Structure 1
Amino acid sequence: MKFFQILIFCSFFVLETSAQPWTIFRGNQQLTGATSASIPEKPKLLTSYQTGDDIKATPVVDGQTIFCGSTDGTMYAIGFDGKLKWKFASGNSIEAPALVMDGSVLFGQLDGLFYRLDEKTGKEIWKYKTDNQIMGSANWLKVAGKVRLFVGSYDYNLHCFGFDKGDSIWRYESDNYINGAPALYGKYAVFGGCDGFLHLVNVETGKVFKKIHLETYIASSPVIEGKFAYVGDYEGKFFGIDLEAGKIAWIYHEKDKNLPFIASPALSGNFIVIGNQDKFIYCFDKSNGKVVWKVKTSNRVESSSVIASGKVITGTMDGMLYIHDLKTGAELWKYELGSPIVGSPAVISGKIVVGAGDGRIYIFG
């Protein structure tokens, strides 16, 4: 067992199939928010790191380093010992999760700038400018052998630019703000906007393939599995969407509750899990949208849950961090941080990393 643990903590890339590194918001390009990594039965707070202001971004992890932005405008690289490796001042608040790939840390901030930094040193490689704030993570795909990056902005555009030089390749204009991250469905970037549509945009051409009307604001990011996307909206509706047919397959909606789904869903097996501002965590059957279970938490849920080996990890706006059983919704553990949790947890083998409104990055294990 000791030898296995050493392998886990020293060789994330070797073990990628069984316990992926958490290098992108929601863990992968389809934004499923799920991992096969195991977590302790009763996690303990190991250490924390204090930044200069509150944290709304979701941390990401590569190897032995945690990367997370703060509203103090700084991107931090922190070890699991809670010690700073480097920091980079971006000039404005960072609320978007970072993306780590090919030795680089990539992220946007509220001035509309998107940065590529060297992962080891934090030195700037290039920056790309949009015309309004960036709130969501980037995604990526190789096109004709070259990595392209995709990120939404409050300038209404989904931007596509090159990884190597940060050069603009195309822009796709929606009809309102883009708040969440795009998910990938084959060669299409899929995202919801404040225009009330789910957009499918061809990543090679930047041309829209389909627009599916979902009625109102979509503040969060969709999850993709097979030909289906799942996402919630600002009026408390949650949708299962057939991307191939271009239509809604099912809708969940309690008419006496119209509070927003700010969080993004997590998907594992037949279960979709998402928290709502009504204080409940919902688990849906992905095939028909029926509620498998729902549990009331201590406060509003804006943080996106993560599913790790049959356990659901969720933060709340009063600073509670919960673990529930995926199949039953039974509460297995909770911990009071005492400060709002807006960003999602990052989960790798044996560790949970989460930021909070007190400006701290907390490491559990």
Structure 2
Amino acid sequence: MERSDGNLKQILAIFFSTPAIGTDGTIYLVSGNLYAIKPNGKLKWELKLGTLAVSSPVIASDGTIYVGTLGENEANEDVSYLYAISTDGKIKWKSKVSGRILSSPAIATDGTIYAGSTVSFYAVNPNGTLKWRIDIGEGVISTPAVSQDGTVYVGSDGLYAVEPTGKIKWKFETRNGIFSSPAISSDGTIYVADGGNIFDKKQKEEKNKNICAIDADGKLKWKYTTNSSAIVSSPAIPKGGTVYIGGTDGHDVLYAIDLSVG
């Protein structure tokens, strides 16, 4: 990467998240700082966030970049912040969140930002004001998915369907916690893996994690039992009737499941 003056610069940081790319090709990468990098590799700007971020930045239709960070207060309690940042690197607002933000936010068509922490699940208005907050299971460590009708699907100790008002529609019980993010197909089916909470030793050691297909009413359509001890990646559903998801059974494994069979 190069600085704006053309000199090479190395970013001395550890990155846990995936970059996001704006409509103009700008690449956004976050660690303890948020970096905006031009397509030619030159640094556009750098914003110090103060604490580590392990979730990926998300870009709204107006170009606003949303990212969550980790942190602690003076009492050593977990306190995170959800940031809204403009395309020129200025902080528009930041919202305090209890617990740790380990997953990326999701943005609904009305601009609502949904973000989970190890304590609660939040809906935040585009201006940074809190819309609602609810406690879900054992906290949220997976990125939520928003369906076309506005229902928000999020994993915790099971899969939850949450209305835009914050009311829980239903919960689908899974054998293990959900670490990866759910995926929604064009027919409204939700695909999720009960891959286990990798911070839970018992769940981490158990094998035979399941990949589940669930309808919009919270009913199981089918499940596929793997030999994996952990599934922390999210399902991918390209056109063609196959769902792909990665796991591990001591070795990395890629599963390809025919949706017509399950």
TM value normalised by structure 1: 0.59
Number of aligned residue pairs: 224
Shift of 1:129: 4.3
Instruction: State the Cα deviation string for residues 163-213 of structure 1 (Å, max 9, x = none).
Output: 2x222111111121111111112121001111311101112x111111111
Separation (CA, whole Å) in 2 of partners of 1:313 and 1:128: 41
Equivalent of 1:356 in 228, 244, 247: 247
Q: 1:351·1:364 contact (CA, 8 Å) conserved in 2? A: yes
Letter in 1 for 2:160: Y
- The yes-or-no answer on 1:249 pairing with 2:140 is no
Equivalent of 1:265 in 144, 147, 169: 144
- The yes-or-no answer on 1:131 pairing with 2:8 is no
Letter in 2 for 1:179: V
- The yes-or-no answer on 1:179 pairing with 2:179 is no
- The structure that is strand-richer by fraction is 1
Q: 1:345·1:353 contact (CA, 8 Å) conserved in 2? A: yes
Residue 191 of structure 1 aligns to a residue whose secondary structure is strand
Separation (CA, whole Å) in 2 of partners of 1:311 and 1:343: 18
Shift of 1:260: 2.9
Q: 1:198·1:212 contact (CA, 8 Å) conserved in 2? A: yes
Shift of 1:334: 0.4
Separation (CA, whole Å) in 2 of partners of 1:305 and 1:335: 15
Note the 1:1-365 alignment, pairs <5 A. Answer: 129-143=10-24, 147-153=25-31, 156-163=32-39, 165-185=40-60, 186-195=62-71, 196-203=80-87, 205-225=88-108, 226-235=110-119, 237-244=120-127, 246-253=128-135, 257=137, 259-268=138-147, 269-276=149-156, 278=157, 280-286=158-164, 288-308=165-185, 309-317=187-195, 318=207, 319-326=209-216, 328-339=217-228, 340-349=230-239, 350-358=241-249, 359-365=252-258
Amino-acid identity (%):
24
Letter in 2 for 1:272: V
Shift of 1:243: 1.6
Separation (CA, whole Å) in 2 of partners of 1:303 and 1:262: 8
Separation (CA, whole Å) in 2 of partners of 1:129 and 1:220: 26
Separation (CA, whole Å) in 1 of partners of 2:182 and 2:53: 21
Shift of 1:161: 0.5
RMSD of aligned C-alpha atoms?
Answer: 1.8
Letter in 1 for 2:134: Y
Separation (CA, whole Å) in 1 of partners of 2:194 and 2:16: 19
Letter in 2 for 1:265: P
Indicate how the Cα distance of structure 1 residues 353 and 313 shifts in structure 2: closer, same or farther if over 3 A, else same.
Answer: same
Shift of 1:233: 0.5
TM value normalised by structure 2: 0.81
Separation (CA, whole Å) in 1 of partners of 2:35 and 2:141: 22
**Unmatched segments (≥5 aa) in structure 2:** 2-7, 72-79, 196-206
Shift of 1:275: 0.7
Instruction: State the Cα deviation string for residues 134-182 of structure 1 (Å, max 9, x = none).
Output: 1211111134xxx1000112xx11111112x222111111121111111
Residue 200 of structure 1 aligns to a residue whose secondary structure is strand
Q: 2:63·2:86 contact (CA, 8 Å) conserved in 1? A: yes
Instruction: State the Cα deviation string for residues 43-76 of structure 1 (Å, max 9, x = none).
Output: xxxxxxxxxxxxxxxxxxxxxxxxxxxxxxxxxx
Residue 356 of structure 1 aligns to a residue whose secondary structure is strand
Shift of 1:251: 0.9
Separation (CA, whole Å) in 1 of partners of 2:26 and 2:20: 9
Shift of 1:261: 0.8
